Amino acid sequence: MIDRRVRYLQLAFNDDLATATRIVATLPRNPRLLIEAGTPFIKREGLAGIRSLRALWPHGLVADLKTSDGGAEEGAMAAAAGATAATVLGSCPTETLQGFIAAARSEGVDSLIDHIGVAEPLETMRQLRTPPTGVILHLGRDEENTRGKVIQYRHVNRIRSKSDVALSAAGGVALHGARTAIFNGANIVVANIVPPDKPWQGIPAGGAVAAIAQQFLDTIE
């Protein structure tokens, strides 16, 4: 389970299982390192892809479902596939959020609310009877190169005043961005593993991913 007192690096795999398998095999077996089955990865590989990553990785495994409806069912599906955490969109109905959180809690899985595209995450939190495990402040890939758009760390203290949740920073986070995230109160830093043909920010899939991951872990410790 995610511990708010611990600082984690989350590596997001958005390509195919072959790429993820090759890279995960090289990574340090560090419990502060979370592996993410990204949304594009899940759309390509399905729940079988999550199961395959579970077989490869002994620590935290995040299923980035970005659930928008059917919260209870999808929360249970993630758990059955071997995920230790899963995501639901902060923009979806309160009923979906509450069903997702309840199902995740029942299955022993961490629930993470992804606030991509949500201007006021605190409003989402105020509607919930039960808080999630964590909240994601997320700058989407399509927004990364838009001038003036950044991860909104001003929400951190507001959210923490409402509930004692883990805070995750996602969206084009490089090594210097990881330091900024931790300084601003996040305890999970998400870095994308980027295929060579994609323009996203993150860690190049063809590079020394294990060494760079260790740099991140040392930086945020």
The per-residue pLDDT for 171 is 84
pLDDT at 173 (0 to 100): 84
In a domain, 1, yes or no: no
pLDDT the model gives residue 174? 84
> Is residue 48 a part of any domain in this protein?
yes
pLDDT recorded at residue 141: 83
**Is 2 domain-assigned?**
no
pTM here is 0.96
User: 108: domain range?
Assistant: 8-220
By residue count, the chain amounts to: 221
How many domains is the chain partitioned into structurally? 1
- The residues, ordered by sequence, that sit 6+ positions from 118 with a Cβ below 8 Å of its Cβ are 90, 91, 124
Calpha distance 138→154 (Å, rounded): 13
Q: Read off the CATH number of the domain in which 77 is found.
A: 3.20.20.70
Is 3 within the bounds of a domain?
no
> Is 54 within the bounds of a domain?
yes
pLDDT along the chain (221 residues), means of 10: 95 97 97 98 98 98 98 97 98 98 97 96 94 95 79 90 92 86 95 88 92 96 86
Q: What is the pLDDT of residue 122?
A: 93
Q: Residue 70 domain-assigned?
A: yes
The answer to whether position 62 is within a domain reads: yes
Structure tokens at 210: 């294990």
